[in-house]
Amino acid sequence: MFEVLSQKLSSVFSRLSSKGSLKERDIDEALREVRLALLEADVNFRVVKDFIAKVRERSLEAQVLESLTPAQQVIKIVNEELIAILGGGPTHLAQASHPPTMVMLVGLQGSGKTTTAAKLALHLKSSGQRPLLVAADLRRPAAIEQLVVLGNQFDIPVYREDISSKPVSICAHALKRATELACAWVIADTGGRLHVDEAMMEEVAAMKRELKPSEVLLVVDAMTGQDAVRAAGEFHARVGLTGLILTKMDGDARGGAALSIKAVTGVPIKFIGTGEKTDAFEIFHADRLASRILGMGDMLTLIEKAEKTLDEEQTRKLEKKLRHGTLDLEDFLGQLEQVQKMGPLTQLMEMIPGLSAIARRAPIEVDERKIKRIKAIILSMTPEERRNPDIIDGSRKRRIARGSGTTSQDVNQLLNQFRQTQKLVKQMASARGKIRLDMLR
């Protein structure tokens, strides 16, 4: 996400910081490079022009140029203006005064609308709400079955009718069903086309007039760049959108759509999809995304992911074992699995301040393969071997290698690395014990 733009901005600001004091020509030179970087990232030309003008005006103020850290002040201004372009603070879903609250998802085919409906429902469910999914996309026959499968997978009810029904009546009946089931939210997956056309727009506009939903959210594919921005503008003009959901943000190295769409349409981004998995779905925070773009990380999102994913009881047990220096391979496997649940290593590293540049340079794909190989080796061991790796002799290594599709050398390498980790953990536990004794004395 924003890989190319982040690299170029980091390079610009690194050179700016090395200058110490700044003059007008230094700022103009840096902003010229920023402008080119934004245009290459497929950001709308007018958005870039306004952004550069605002940053330049603020950067040339006396208190910036005469401060002890002028480069840091300019970076701060760029960060604030990025946040303004992206829409400021998070925008929450509007709720109806009397439940259930209806949310209509609209968009073109291929934007990920059906999957996004399930992701949004799961997001609401995980926050203690009860959603009902509505299969109102009758244009794509597979959409109904896809939504039913996703609903069953996450124990979320799905309302469906015969394909001969009309989308408006399906949604109206779904609202009644939601009341019977005590569902607070009704999420309707509506029909889309490959391109914006009159028939689709009229159908969606009619649904909005009849159903009066609290939210009309446009699902757009971030990878389509300015096409996504144009589609958002047309939908907003004809239907009247209340928010946007950007999908496939993990696959767009440029990010032009995200940086243009709010400024061009005036419609806030409410959620982003960051991967194919159903839980790869986040509330949109402009300040956090701006921080990632500038390579400052995003610790708040990382903490939220950890809180959702990590098992508290397992973490407490691990902490106890670390204190006593008794870590084994079963603990090691458990921690690998918990980290993997949080998402790809590339995304996690981008959220840690200072590591985003390393994440871009390092061969993360290889690291992911190494993790899979390590898991395969540990899973090929018996429970006794995981708890006591010292019993693993040559014949056991050969058996583990055969079972995991690796070599005896791979098994040896893992065991040696694990013994080094064990040794370090025991040294830390011993040092902690000595410090405690010294304090008691």
What is the pLDDT, as a whole number, of residue 428?
55
One-letter amino acid at 217 equals: L
Residue 295, classified by CB atoms within 10 Å of its CB into exposed (0-12), middle (13-18) or buried (19+), is buried
Q: Identify the three-state secondary structure at position 270.
A: strand
Give the closest residue to 82 by CA, choosing from 92, 70, 94, 74: 74
Which of 7-16, 89-98, 282-291, 340-349 shows the lowest per-residue confidence on average (mean pLDDT)?
Answer: 340-349
Task: Report, as an integer, the average pLDDT of 192-199.
Answer: 76
Q: Is 242 a residue whose pLDDT tops 50?
A: yes
Q: Cβ of 270: how many Cβ atoms within 10 Å?
A: 20
HSE (side-chain half, CA atoms, 13 Å) at 416 = 6
Q: Which residue has the higher pLDDT, 252 or 2?
A: 2
What is the pLDDT, as a whole number, of residue 364?
43
What is the pLDDT, as a whole number, of residue 346?
57
Topology match between the domains 101-296 and 310-440:
no
- The predicted-structure confidence for 328-368, as pLDDT tens digits, reads as follows 787 777 766 666 665 555 555 555 554 455 455 444 444 56
Which of 22-36, 186-200, 260-274, 372-386 shows the lowest per-residue confidence on average (mean pLDDT)?
Answer: 186-200
Residues 345 and 314: their CA atoms lie apart, in Å, by 21
Q: Crossing angle of helices 256-265/226-238, nearest 10°? A: 30
Question: Mean pLDDT for the chain?
Answer: 81
CATH superfamily of 3-86: SRP54, nucleotide-binding domain (1.20.120.140)
What is the pLDDT, as a whole number, of residue 318?
53
β-sheet bridge partners, residue 56: none
Q: Which residue has the higher pLDDT, 142 or 436?
A: 142
Task: Report, as an integer, the average pLDDT of 146-154.
Answer: 93
What is the pLDDT, as a whole number, of residue 365?
45
Q: What is the DSSP string of 271-332?
A: EEE-SSSTT-EEE--HHHHHHHHTT---HHHHHHHHHHHS-HHHHHHHHHHHHHT---HHHH
Q: Which residue has the higher pLDDT, 132 or 238?
A: 132
- 188 backbone dihedrals φ, ψ, rounded to 5°: -100, 125
**Percentage of the chain exceeding pLDDT 70:** 79
What is the pLDDT, as a whole number, of residue 288?
81
Q: 101-296 sits in which CATH class?
A: alpha beta
β-sheet bridge partners, residue 132: 186
What is the pLDDT, as a whole number, of residue 335?
66
**Percentage of the chain exceeding pLDDT 90:** 32
Q: Is 325 a residue whose pLDDT tops 70?
A: no
Which of 89-93, 203-207, 230-234 shows the lowest per-residue confidence on average (mean pLDDT)?
Answer: 89-93
Q: Is 89 a residue whose pLDDT tops 60?
A: yes
C-alpha distance from residue 273 to each of 119, 177, 208, 246, 284 (Å): 8, 28, 24, 6, 9
Residues 204 and 239: their CA atoms lie apart, in Å, by 7
Task: Report, as an integer, the average pLDDT of 314-329.
Answer: 62
Task: Report, as an integer, the average pLDDT of 188-205.
Answer: 82
Strand-pair category, 281-283 with 243-247: unpaired
CA-based angle 360:363:368, to the nearest 5?
110
Task: Report, as an integer, the average pLDDT of 393-408.
Answer: 92
Task: Report, as an integer, the average pLDDT of 258-282.
Answer: 87
Which of 40-44, 67-71, 211-215 shows the lowest per-residue confidence on average (mean pLDDT)?
Answer: 67-71
Give the closest residue to 41 by CA, choosing from 218, 225, 204: 225
Which of 121-130, 252-261, 334-343 shows the lowest per-residue confidence on average (mean pLDDT)?
Answer: 334-343
What is the pLDDT, as a whole number, of residue 152?
94
For residue 296 the two structure tokens come to 């400052």
What is the pLDDT, as a whole number, of residue 180?
94
Q: How confident is the model at residue 49 (pLDDT cuts 50, 70, 90)?
A: very high
Residues 228 and 230: their CA atoms lie apart, in Å, by 5
What is the pLDDT, as a whole number, of residue 342?
57
What is the pLDDT, as a whole number, of residue 32?
93
For residue 417 the two structure tokens come to 């690395």
What is the pLDDT, as a whole number, of residue 313?
59
Q: Is 106 a residue whose pLDDT tops 90?
A: yes
pTM: predicted TM-score of the whole model, two decimal places: 0.69
Fold of 310-440: 434 Repressor (Amino-terminal Domain) (1.10.260)
- The predicted-structure confidence for 297-314, as pLDDT tens digits, reads as follows 544 555 555 555 555 555
- Domain spans, the chain: 3-86, 101-296, 310-440
Q: Which residue has the higher pLDDT, 95 or 91?
A: 95
Output DSSP code: residue 94. P
Q: How confident is the model at residue 436 (pLDDT cuts 50, 70, 90)?
A: very low
